[in-house]
């Protein structure tokens, strides 16, 4: 995995030190000096005081003291596996990415996660699931950092701290650990109308998957693909599990939480160990890259809306097979660092404002989570493509760089590395025409419809699925202490559908508001006072 590590002389050793560490029959200290005894502190006599000069005690306990690193600020609990991605070649028409070409095999590492719970929380809680894939392609790393739901709570990354502060445990009681049954979450998602669609997906059976092996995955944002001729196409990425999409029912999820909080990570590891390798097809929905960036009236830059598959079928472009468990959870599952900015030629971003914020956030958080800027050198994060980046030094630098001229242009070190254009495999940003614009803090009008798609989602549900959704809202809202939050939630539900609202109101023992036919118009960035009579702030 990854290029060779370096010896202190700067020569590639051909041996990955991380792989051989802690092998052999003799116990040593961290410097490789053999130890006669690591079970007793150095003392002045068997019953005497421990001596300050015990440098072995100091090293052993110091290292232990620093074993824990900060957990991810979101998606802290996860499980992962290695595998391979095989391109079908069906995407070459729209993308020149080498790993999508026919029969090209690319090693991958996939991490599944819950979003809100801490590292030690349970697997089968009601939550969104992360589905993050690192492709170690011949042209560099491509990360597809998606979820098991096709839409998101917010349209603009500047709201991410708000939605996460609202969803994480209450600051005073640290309740709940890992589910959405509390006042702050419901307060936020009922005041913030654009969260309605994602919340409905959470309350559906998609919120409690049966297994990581049986989840769909979505890139959520619209991406821009570029082919060899430079023609661009807009796409949304989908993962389709070969085993089908399955969920638990709520009672099962709760029982399993008690009996086996590691249910999903055990299921994934056991299946892989038994040779039942889970598989997903990667697919794309394809849209013409028009200046409007809309499709059938849907704004493709709005991550709270999806494009129904009836309007744009998912075209399969490759197969993912997970075939090996990590050998060390910390080194691989915990230290892996995904980033939406890890792109390869043929895959570019769009102006989705949520994606723009993510491009900053991931690197930023990983500097503190993984202790400095060199986490790309950790074995699990190392690219499989040659690196010549001129980056130097920094906390936890493990490479011994050679040469004296880490700058451009230079005339030393035997010549300056040359820069490569698109024709020679360079990553060239698509020269997208930008509209003449003035600086604003506003959302576009086309981001204002927060209810048509939740309504369609509800109407597409079978009777038993509707029953589950009503049960989920009733249970979760039933855990709120604030009556005003429950009442406001009912008004949101009345705007989605009268039957849904009536069912939840009956479950909560509260009167159901009249169905609200008209979706209240939303001004861009509405002040709370503007939310009007149907959205009073209590
Ligand atoms: C982590 C997905 C939006 C910030 C993650 C992970 C996934 C994910 C799957 C876990 C990665 C892993 O397993 O290591 C998504 C999706 C989003 C979204 C699908 C919307 C479409 C955002 C936004 C922000 C953000 C808007 C911030 C502005 C973070 C941070 C982490 C994270 C800070 C922790 C990363 C780490 O510690 O390595 N996200 N996310 N995410 N996400 Fe997002």
- DSSP string computed for 316-374: EEEEEEEEE--S-TIIIIIT----TT---TTEE----HHHHHHHHHHHHHHHHHTTSTT
Give percent above pLDDT 70 in the chain: 91
CA distances from 462 to 148, 319, 458, 495, 496 (A): 20, 30, 9, 20, 16
Residue 418: per-residue pLDDT: 83
Q: Which protein residue's CA is at the shortest distance from atom 29 of ligand 1?
A: 362
Q: For 80-109, what is the mean pLDDT?
A: 98
CA distances from 319 to 100, 106, 113, 241 (A): 10, 10, 21, 10
Residue 415: per-residue pLDDT: 79
- Could you tell me the distance, in angstroms and rounded to a whole number, from the CA of residue 74 to the centre of ligand 1? 7
Cα separation, 30 vs 34, in Å, equals 10
Q: 82 pLDDT exceeds 90?
A: yes
Catalytic residue list contains 147: yes
Say if residues 337 and 381 touch (Cβ distance below 8 Å).
Answer: yes
pLDDT tens, position by position, 433-459 = 988 889 999 999 999 999 999 999 999
Q: For 360-382, what is the mean pLDDT?
A: 97
Residue 2: per-residue pLDDT: 36
Q: For 311-328, what is the mean pLDDT?
A: 98
- What token pair was written down for 194? 């654009």
Residue 19: per-residue pLDDT: 54
- Could you tell me the distance, in angstroms and rounded to a whole number, from the CA of residue 142 to the centre of ligand 1? 15
pLDDT tens, position by position, 12-39 = 444 455 555 678 889 999 999 999 999 9
Choose which residue among 331, 356, 362, 366 to substitute to test ligand 1 binding: the one with the highest number of ligand atoms within 8 A of its C-beta: 362
- 464 φ, ψ (degrees, to nearest 5): -70, -35
Residue 516: per-residue pLDDT: 78
Lowest mean pLDDT: which of 151-165, 302-316, 515-529?
515-529
Q: 506 pLDDT exceeds 60?
A: yes
- Could you tell me the distance, in angstroms and rounded to a whole number, from the CA of residue 37 to the centre of ligand 1? 45
Per-residue confidence at 359, pLDDT binned at 50, 70, 90? very high
- Could you tell me the distance, in angstroms and rounded to a whole number, from the CA of residue 269 to the centre of ligand 1? 23
- Could you tell me the distance, in angstroms and rounded to a whole number, from the CA of residue 107 to the centre of ligand 1? 22
Mark 501-516 as b/e (b = at least 16 C-beta within 10 Å). Answer: bbbbbeebeeebbeeb
Q: 3 pLDDT exceeds 50?
A: no
Please work out whether the CB of residue 363 comes within 6 Å of at least one atom of ligand 1: no
Please work out whether the CB of residue 282 comes within 6 Å of at least one atom of ligand 1: no
Q: 93 pLDDT exceeds 50?
A: yes
Q: 180 pLDDT exceeds 90?
A: no
Catalytic residue among 82, 147, 264, 381: 147
Residue 518: per-residue pLDDT: 55
Q: 152 pLDDT exceeds 90?
A: yes
Q: 525 pLDDT exceeds 70?
A: no
Which residues 6+ apart lie within 8 Å of 492 measured at CB? 189, 190, 193, 196
Residue ranges with strand state E in 43-168:
78-87, 105-114, 129-137, 140-147
Cα separation, 325 vs 331, in Å, equals 12
Q: 252 pLDDT exceeds 60?
A: yes
Residue 242: per-residue pLDDT: 98
Residue 178: per-residue pLDDT: 63
Average pLDDT along the chain: 91
Ligand 1 closest atom vs CA 355: 26
Choose which residue among 69, 71, 75 to substitute to test ligand 1 binding: the one with the highest number of ligand atoms within 8 A of its C-beta: 75
Cα separation, 49 vs 61, in Å, equals 17
Catalytic residue list contains 246: no
98 SS3 class = helix
Residue 46: per-residue pLDDT: 96
For 197: left if phi > 0, alpha if psi spans -120 to 50, otherwise beta; the answer is alpha
- 353 φ, ψ (degrees, to nearest 5): -65, -20
Helix, strand, coil percentages (3-state) for the chain, rounded to 5, are: 30, 15, 55
Residue 195: per-residue pLDDT: 98
Which residues 6+ apart lie within 8 Å of 367 measured at CB? 373, 375
| pTM, two decimal places | 0.93
Cα separation, 146 vs 78, in Å, equals 14
Q: 6 pLDDT exceeds 50?
A: no
Residue 176: per-residue pLDDT: 80
Catalytic residue among 55, 63, 66, 75: 75
Ligand 1 closest atom vs CA 131: 9
Please work out whether the CB of residue 335 comes within 6 Å of at least one atom of ligand 1: no
Q: For 134-153, what is the mean pLDDT?
A: 98
CA distances from 159 to 162, 227, 523 (A): 5, 34, 17
Which residues 6+ apart lie within 8 Å of 191 measured at CB? 488, 528, 531, 535, 537
Q: Which residue has the tokens 């404002």?
A: 353
Residue 300: per-residue pLDDT: 98
Per-residue confidence at 522, pLDDT binned at 50, 70, 90? very low
501 SS3 class = helix
Q: Which ranges of 75-209 would DSSP assign to H, the alpha helix? A: 160-167, 183-191, 196-203
Neighbouring-strand partners of residue 239: 217, 282
Element spanning 459, H or E: helix 452-459
Per-residue confidence at 527, pLDDT binned at 50, 70, 90? very low
Per-residue confidence at 430, pLDDT binned at 50, 70, 90? very high
Residue 469: per-residue pLDDT: 98
Q: 8 pLDDT exceeds 90?
A: no
Q: Which protein residue's CA is at the shortest distance from atom 26 of ligand 1?
A: 157
Residue ranges with strand state E in 13-128:
78-87, 105-114
Please work out whether the CB of residue 130 comes within 6 Å of at least one atom of ligand 1: yes
Residue 20: per-residue pLDDT: 54
Residue 447: per-residue pLDDT: 96
Residue 531: per-residue pLDDT: 30
Residue 11: per-residue pLDDT: 42
């Amino acid at each position: 995995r990854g290029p060779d590590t370096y010896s202190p002389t700067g020569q590639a050793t051909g041996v990955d030190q991380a792989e051989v560490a802690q092998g052999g029959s003799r116990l040593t200290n961290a410097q490789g000096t053999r130890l006669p005894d690591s079970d007793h502190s150095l003392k002045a006599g068997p019953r005497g005081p421990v001596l300050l000069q015990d440098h072995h005690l100091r090293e052993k306990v110091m290292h232990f003291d620093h074993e824990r690193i900060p957990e991810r600020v979101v998606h802290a609990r996860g499980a992962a596996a290695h595998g391979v991605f095989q391109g079908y070649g069906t995407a070459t028409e729209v993308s020149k990415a080498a790993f999508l070409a026919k029969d090209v095999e690319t090693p991958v590492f996939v991490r599944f996660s819950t979003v809100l719970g801490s590292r030690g929380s349970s697997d089968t809680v009601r939550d969104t699931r992360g589905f993050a894939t690192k492709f170690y392609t011949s042209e560099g790393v491509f990360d597809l950092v998606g979820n098991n739901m096709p839409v998101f709570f917010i349209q603009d990354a500047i709201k991410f701290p708000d939605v996460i502060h609202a969803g994480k445990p209450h600051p005073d009681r640290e309740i709940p650990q890992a589910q959405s049954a509390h006042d702050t979450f419901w307060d936020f998602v009922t005041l913030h109308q654009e969260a309605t669609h994602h919340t409905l997906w959470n309350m559906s059976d998609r919120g409690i998957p049966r297994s990581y092996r049986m989840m769909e995955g979505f890139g959520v944002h619209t991406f821009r693909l570029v082919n060899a001729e430079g023609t661009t196409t807009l796409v949304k990425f989908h993962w389709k599990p070969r085993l089908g999409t399955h969920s638990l029912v709520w009672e099962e999820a709760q029982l399993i939480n008690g009996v086996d909080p590691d249910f999903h990570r055990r299921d994934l590891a056991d299946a892989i160990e038994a040779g039942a390798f889970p598989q997903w097809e990667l697919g794309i929905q394809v849209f013409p890259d028009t200046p409007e960036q809309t499709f059938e009236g849907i704004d493709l830059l709005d991550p709270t809306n999806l494009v129904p598959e009836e309007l744009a079928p998912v075209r399969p472009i490759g197969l993912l097979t997970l075939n090996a468990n990590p050998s060390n959870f910390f080194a691989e599952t915990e230290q892996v660092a995904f980033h939406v900015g890890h792109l390869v030629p043929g895959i570019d971003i769009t102006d989705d404002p949520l994606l723009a914020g993510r491009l900053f956030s991931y690197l930023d958080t990983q500097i503190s989570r993984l202790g400095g800027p060199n986490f790309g050198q950790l074995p699990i994060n190392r690219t499989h493509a040659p690196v010549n980046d001129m980056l130097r030094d920094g906390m936890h630098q493990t490479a011994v760089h050679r040469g004296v001229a880490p700058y451009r242009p230079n005339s030393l070190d035997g010549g300056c590395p040359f820069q490569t254009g698109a024709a020679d495999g360079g990553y060239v940003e698509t020269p997208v025409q930008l509209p003449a614009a003035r600086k604003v803090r506003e959302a576009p009008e086309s981001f204002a419809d927060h209810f048509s798609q939740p309504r369609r989602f509800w109407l597409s549900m079978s009777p038993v699925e509707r029953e589950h959704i009503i049960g989920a809202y009733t249970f979760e809202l039933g855990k709120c202490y604030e009556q005003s939050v429950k009442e406001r939630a009912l008004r949101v539900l009345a705007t989605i559908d009268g039957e849904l609202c009536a069912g939840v109101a009956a479950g909560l023992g509260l009167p159901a508001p009249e169905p609200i036919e008209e979706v209240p118009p939303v001004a861009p960035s509405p002040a709370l006072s503007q939310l009007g009579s149907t959205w009073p702030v209590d």
